[in-house]
Every structure is written in C-alpha cells, then in structure tokens.
Amino acid sequence: MRVHTLKRALIACALALPGAAIAVVVAAPAAHADGCYTWQRTLLPGRSGEDVRQLQIRVAGWAGNGGIVRIDGRYGPETAAAVRRFQTAYGLRSDGIAGPQTFTKLYQLQDDDCTPTHFSYTELDDGCGQGGWTGGPLSAAETRANALRTMWKLEALRRSLGDRPLYVTSGFRDIACNRRVGGASDSQHLYGNAADLVSRSRSLCDVARTARNHGFSGIYGPGYTNHDSHVHVDSRRENNRDRTRNTTSWSAPDCGVGG
C-alpha cells in the first residue's frame, strides 16, 4: 500500500475524537484531503456536474449484479444505488446521499494521482512492459481514464473479497503487444477497460462470481478457453468505440457462471 498523505492522517485522527472535533469533520466537503479531487457540496439525486462525474468514477464498482454506473455527471437512481452499496460496504449511513462521511472515506481510499489505494497506473499499464498508454485504438488520455475507472471497480471487488490482495497479471495492451500475446483482435485490453486477475487467498471462482456485482460486463474464468489460470474482467458495455458495446459476456463454466 502506498503512503497516505498527512492530511488523510489528520482526518482519521479527527474522526477518533469526541465532541467538537466531529463537527469539524462534518464540514469536510470543502476540506482538501489530498492532491486529487475535493468535493465542495453534498451530492444527491437531481444534481449534476463534474463533481458528480468524479463521484461516479469512484463508485462505478458498486453497480450491483449485472449493472453499470454511467459516468455522465447526472446523479440519478443508478448513482444513488451505487452510493448506498458503497456506504454499506464501509459501514457508513446508507442513504444514497454523498456527504461528508462518504467523501471522507473516498479521500482515505484514493491517492494523490486519483487511483484507489490498492491499485496503481503501473499495474494497469502496457502488458508487454513498454508503458505509456499509447499504441491502442484510443488516445493515451482516454485509455488512461478507462484504466482509472477499471481500478476503482477492482477496489470495490477487492473489498467484497475481504480486502485481500488482488494481483493484475495483464492490463492495457497496445496493438502490437496484444498480437504478441495472442489476444483477441477486439480485446478490451486495448482500451484500458480490462484486467486479468489472480488471488492468493480466494479461489478464481470466488473472484469470477463476485465480479458480477462490481460493474464488469465481461467476465471469463475457469472453464473458459485459456482462462483456467486467471479471471478476466472488463467494462465492454461502457466502451462505445467497438462492436461489443452495450453487451455483456460472462463465462466461467467450472464456477457455474454463465452469460
């Protein structure tokens, strides 16, 4: 785990103090918790804007069974439900409203580059070792943005698996790398939308089954061709640049998980 900022530590200390100290934390939306993003207002259904979009990125992994959270900047029922699941998962009041407690938890979970604390851009970068987010169908900025959303989904999956480490064995691949490893020509790895996972504490079937609740619309695991050693997860429903958009595909026959 990477080192948290001093300001995160101060917020954690404030939460542990009684009385007036808690009142300070209640005003947290305007407090700069780290170097990534600071929310300035409470968010609830009907609101819209960049602050909602930033929230959606971070709760995208709490979409529920077979669902997704659209990153559209509009706080609708889909976003509210994801916020409620996030709140429940971290022991917060589950009301679907993103206020000080929800933001404080998000600040604790994110690092200064906006990645969740247990995953990094390095892990999700080029699977053949070159790095740089270039050489795929999208711009480097678009690919990197997709990878960020993927990491927040992985953070949610990790939480539901008992907060035990998940290891990414392959993330973004440029076109040349994808050909070299024998990837499908329309692989979601090309877009920064995918990760291949292993766990040392949970079975691959546990990972595949649980992933269905965390915003992934493509899941392949044990029993699917060439996937007995890892679980592949991707966000194909949110990829509007290829022919697999608006589809779901789940197959892990040895785990009883099918489309």
Q: Per-residue pLDDT tens for 120-158?
A: 999 999 778 778 899 999 999 999 999 999 999 999 999
Provide the pLDDT for residue 24.
36
CA separation, residue 100 to residues 103, 167, 211 (Å): 5, 31, 28
Mark whether 189 is an active-site residue: no
User: What pLDDT is recorded for position 130?
Assistant: 74
Token pair in block for residue 165: 């480490």
Q: Token pair for residue 215?
A: 């915003």
CA distance 173 to 189: 5
Per-residue pLDDT of 75-103, as tens digits, reads 999 999 999 999 999 999 999 999 999 99
Tokens of 232: 């592949």
Q: Quote the pLDDT of residue 257.
A: 84
pLDDT for the residue numbered 126: 73
Residue with the bigger pLDDT between 44 and 132: it is 44
The single-letter code of the amino acid at 94 is: S
Active-site residue (options: 118, 189, 214, 227): 227
Which one is predicted more confidently, 128 or 220?
Answer: 220
Domains of the chain: 6-109 (1.10.101.10), 121-258 (3.30.1380.10)
